[in-house]
Structure 1
Amino acid sequence: MTSLDKPTEDTDQPLAGDARAVTEAALFEAFGGVRGMVETVVPGLLFVAIFTVNKDLHLSAIAALAVSLVLVVVRLAMKDTVKHAFSGVFGVVFGVAFAMFTGNAKDFYLPGMLYTLGLGFAYIITTLAGVPLIGLILGPVFKENLSWRTRNPGRKKAYAKASWAWGMILLAKCAILFPLYWWADTTQLGWVLVILKIPPFLLAVYLTWVFLAKAPAPIDVFAEMEAEEQAEKEREAALATEGGEPAGGRHRRG
């Protein structure tokens, strides 16, 4: 059992070296890892590459949607988690539908840009409200749920810092993309979007890892609940034994 599996007793102590590796693995699991990053880039890359060559909105959109579906099918065939692939499909579907409706190829990117803008504000607003979004996302991954809000102030502070980082990075990305949406052509906007897919994400994940690596270990609330259930069973068994009956005897006679 690692330090991540035990309730923290000293909330001023940072994570140990092995727990830092666990934190890194958990972060990439939560955000899709290398494969998830590839799946988010490929549809947009294919769209802008085809559109750059032939300026055909329909062909570009169909190709982007097709490759997204293929990625989902591959994950299903490998019996792997599909949540990141499905989120990519939904993003592509909205982009394709919007571009087809308006007839403007640049609108393929608009739903994703609006999502990024909204997500950036969500990180900032939830942090100001005292419930940083990154903590809501990662709490279940670290088996701590919302225990960090009241029982682990050092960890709450780390989540707040990480949420600020995510929010500012996403809003900075939007500050680049939205002017390009109005002033640049489709290919220019598309290639900038492809370039900005991975680096800001990696920066945000890295800063999150830095903040959490210096934070107290999470409190495993699942382990605590299991321990409480086990203790309750032991108390019931002890009471039954003291009464001269085997555990569960009263229930059988009643």
Structure 2
Amino acid sequence: MTHPTPRPKRTGIAALAADDGDFSVVDAIGGPRGVVESVLPGFVFVVLFVATADLNLTIAVSAVLAVLQVVVRLVQRQSAMGAASGLVAVGICLVWAWQSHEARNYYMFGFITNAVYAVLLAVSLAARVPGLGLMVEFIRQLPTEHLRAWLRGWMDDRPLKRAYMAVTGLWLGLFCLRLAVQVPLYLTDQVGWLGTARLLMGIPFWALAIWVSYLIVATPLHRHIAAEKAAKADGAAEEG
């Protein structure tokens, strides 16, 4: 007797698109192992640089650690996608710091990504098409055709749209707060405090934002999904 393969847990914003009510903050942020793999390179970077002030050593150790995480995943025959994407991000940060010979530039890529996300979400709010709603609905139901009908399907659900607008504003605030706190530390070259702020405003803030987003979106989204299923059932009954 074969057992069905369990569905992989959705992480990040994709966790909000689940319609089975099985939401977990821990799973949404990658599970305990995913959290460790996300935090460890940055933690080692700031601690080692503050302790030694040797940028080349810090870069070398951080790079080896990031590669090792992917290798361990592959040896254990586990999905290395998350670790590999993390390796790419860490690699960009390390190369930036190495080429500029400034430890603080390890954090420049993060500033850019946060700024880009903030701008995109701000534009979506101004256009009254919430960016988080686009992401969740795209994950939940890929619009392979009839894009306008797909968009209207959830945009015309006022409670759901209000929820999506609220969580879009929440995430916009998160990205802006990160920049407001961390950019001054970067400009004053306080690498230790900058690294600490990045760690504290990373996974912990991400987990809190995911949880609050779920609390806001869950009820209107579940009602919307139930209405969709009822409408499909009615349509099938009429055709039958």
> Is the pair's TM-score, using the shorter chain for normalization, greater than 0.5?
yes
Query: What's the CA shift string for 1:109-152, capped at 9, x where partnerless?
Result: 11112212221222222232233222233225444765653453
Mean alpha-carbon deviation: is it higher for 75-84 or for 85-94? 75-84
* 1:4 alignment counterpart: none
| Partners of 2:28 and 2:210 within 8 A in 1 | no
Q: How far, CA to CA, are the matches of 1:115 and 1:56 in structure 2? A: 27
* 2:213 alignment counterpart: 208
| Partners of 2:29 and 2:203 within 8 A in 1 | no
Q: Which of 1 and 2 has higher RCO (CA within 8 Å, sep 6+)?
A: 1
- Cα shift at 1:30: 5.5
Select 2:65's aligned residue among 64, 67, 72.
67
Give the alignment of 1:158-197 within 5 angstroms.
Answer: 158-197=163-202
* 1:11 alignment counterpart: none
Matched, 1:43 2:41: yes
Structure with higher Rg: it is 1
- Cα shift at 1:31: 4.7
Select 2:115's aligned residue among 114, 117, 120.
117
Query: What's the CA shift string for 1:153-207, capped at 9, x where partnerless?
Result: 3222212211110110110111000000011422222222222222221221122
Unaligned runs of 5+ in 2: 1-18, 144-149
Q: How far, CA to CA, are the matches of 2:180 and 2:201 in structure 1? A: 12
* 1:86 alignment counterpart: 84
- Cα shift at 1:78: 4.2
Which amino acid is 2:205 matched to?
P
In the superposition, the TM-score normalised over structure 2's length comes to: 0.73
Give the alignment of 1:23-42 within 5 angstroms.
Answer: 24-25=23-24, 31-42=29-40
Q: CA RMSD in A?
A: 3.4
Give the total of aligned pairs.
214
Give the alignment of 1:99-248 within 5 angstroms.
Answer: 99-143=97-141, 146=150, 149-150=154-155, 152-217=157-222, 218-219=224-225
